[in-house]
Structure 1
């Protein structure tokens, strides 16, 4: 189980105009998230520019040095804490792309801590853990380029609405690509053609409907755009290894065998 403990309250500080930080070696971990302003940080002899979204997790023994532009003073959210997550924490500053999420997690962490009580204290600690996981993800996975970001939005919408009659030509126009270019980039991004991706999405939704609703196989096939229920059943079995009716039976077995409350 992850060990995580506050050593100081979550707090915000707007650095004073003449502020300059040359830290003594730290005795614990320190989260440092820049929400506004500009400056620079030196850590392990390396200089990093700071701006909104710049975040760092300093480790015990670190002795960071930082300064800022007094005309654009740094606003920082942070706190001291203990953890055993060292191997998963980014080394050096990370520039967060989704600053709205960062701001929201910081506010929740601060508000819940100051509200008090066991549930609020747990919520505050979970916000800190989520910020640390967020920074790990930002450091581990590179930011998407504009086209990949567009493909991510397209695949998300396809998953959300698998019953729609998606046309490759329409999707390609939305991504400002020719049909052939779109197909190549879609396969590179997802590992599947648009048609195969849509089939997978529809059959995943079919599985949910079979195991979680009372809709008949015929109703589910029609809802997902299959005019031929026999074709739907063959495709479902080829994809999942079982027929729709056996998937329905398995879903019912899970419900009837669930412990009663």
Structure 2
């Protein structure tokens, strides 16, 4: 399917009805009349099938659709694995750009569910701020769908490599080794290094140094720790070596930053 942009530029969105969750009944099927506004439709659980304009999409957790006025989708599901759907009817400022229809699968289902719940909770407070918070959640949900449709879906291996990189950024002081990183990603050392360089443009060892330097800069500017204390905290036994790496990557010495 050829995807069109959900949002080509910032737009003003206005909710037309409360955000809604529903667990479809075993005998449920959907034959929609032409939509009178836009509808965000997200599957949070279950299995089914969606049809629109002669195109069919298998439904499962994370699959989301954005319907436009005039669309008349139909859907069904497996009664043994009933669909749990989240929906939001909304209007778009005339200057906004939303395609006639599109769908995509959002991989971050935890975030998808959290945004759905947050919009529901905020809207049901019944005050203007809650309504605005719900509309902001809607904008974020549309952004997630945009990313899912226009970004290549990572393989399980690429995801594992990315998780290692995230762990390095979160804990750069750890005594990391490339062999340990590769084992965590379930790859050989050579395979891991090739994948890591392809994703991040640098070797795992250089990525670790950069993460340590960035954390050092944060500690030097946001705490009262001395240069020696920062170096030790990040696993350096040689303060001079730490200072050289820091200056090479930042252009300033740790003491100048401190």
Give the shorter-chain TM-score range: 0.7 to 0.9
Deviation at 1:15, TM superposition (A): 4.1
Question: Which of 69, 73, 80 is the matching residue for 1:64?
Answer: 73
In structure 2, distance between residues paired with 1:70 and 1:95: 22
Range 49-58 or range 61-70, more displaced: 61-70
Instruction: Give the aligned partner of residue 182 of structure 2.
Output: 172
Deviation at 1:128, TM superposition (A): 1.7
Deviation at 1:241, TM superposition (A): 1.6
In structure 2, distance between residues paired with 1:170 and 1:19: 50
- The 5 A counterparts of 1:65-84 are 65-70=74-79, 72-84=81-93
Bigger CA radius of gyration: 1
In structure 2, distance between residues paired with 1:70 and 1:183: 46
Q: Does the C-alpha gap of structure 1 residues 185 and 37 become closer, same or farther in structure 2, counting only changes over 3 Å?
A: closer
Deviation at 1:82, TM superposition (A): 1.8
In structure 1, distance between residues paired with 2:80 and 2:181: 46
- What is the aligned length? 247
In structure 2, distance between residues paired with 1:246 and 1:64: 63
Deviation at 1:12, TM superposition (A): 2.4
Matched, 1:42 2:51: yes
Gaps in structure 1 of 5+ consecutive residues:
249-261
TM-score with structure 2 setting the length? 0.85
In structure 2, distance between residues paired with 1:90 and 1:130: 19
Q: Does the C-alpha gap of structure 1 residues 59 and 188 become closer, same or farther in structure 2, counting only changes over 3 Å?
A: same
Range 71-80 or range 189-198, more displaced: 71-80
Matched, 1:242 2:252: yes
Deviation at 1:63, TM superposition (A): 3.0
Question: Which of 136, 149, 158 is the matching residue for 1:139?
Answer: 149
Deviation at 1:97, TM superposition (A): 2.5
Range 189-198 or range 128-137, more displaced: 128-137
4+ residue runs over 4 A deviation: 69-73, 84-91
TM-score with structure 1 setting the length? 0.84
Answer whether contact 2:11 2:96 (CA < 8 A) is retained.
no
Question: Which of 136, 140, 153 is the matching residue for 1:130?
Answer: 140
Q: Does the C-alpha gap of structure 1 residues 136 and 86 become closer, same or farther in structure 2, counting only changes over 3 Å?
A: farther
Deviation at 1:70, TM superposition (A): 5.0
Matched, 1:31 2:40: yes
Deviation at 1:140, TM superposition (A): 2.1
In structure 1, distance between residues paired with 2:55 and 2:163: 36
In structure 2, distance between residues paired with 1:148 and 1:123: 34
Gaps in structure 2 of 5+ consecutive residues:
1-9
Does the residue aligned with 1:94 lie in a helix, a strand or coil?
Answer: strand
RMSD in angstroms over aligned alpha carbons?
2.4
Range 148-157 or range 51-60, more displaced: 51-60
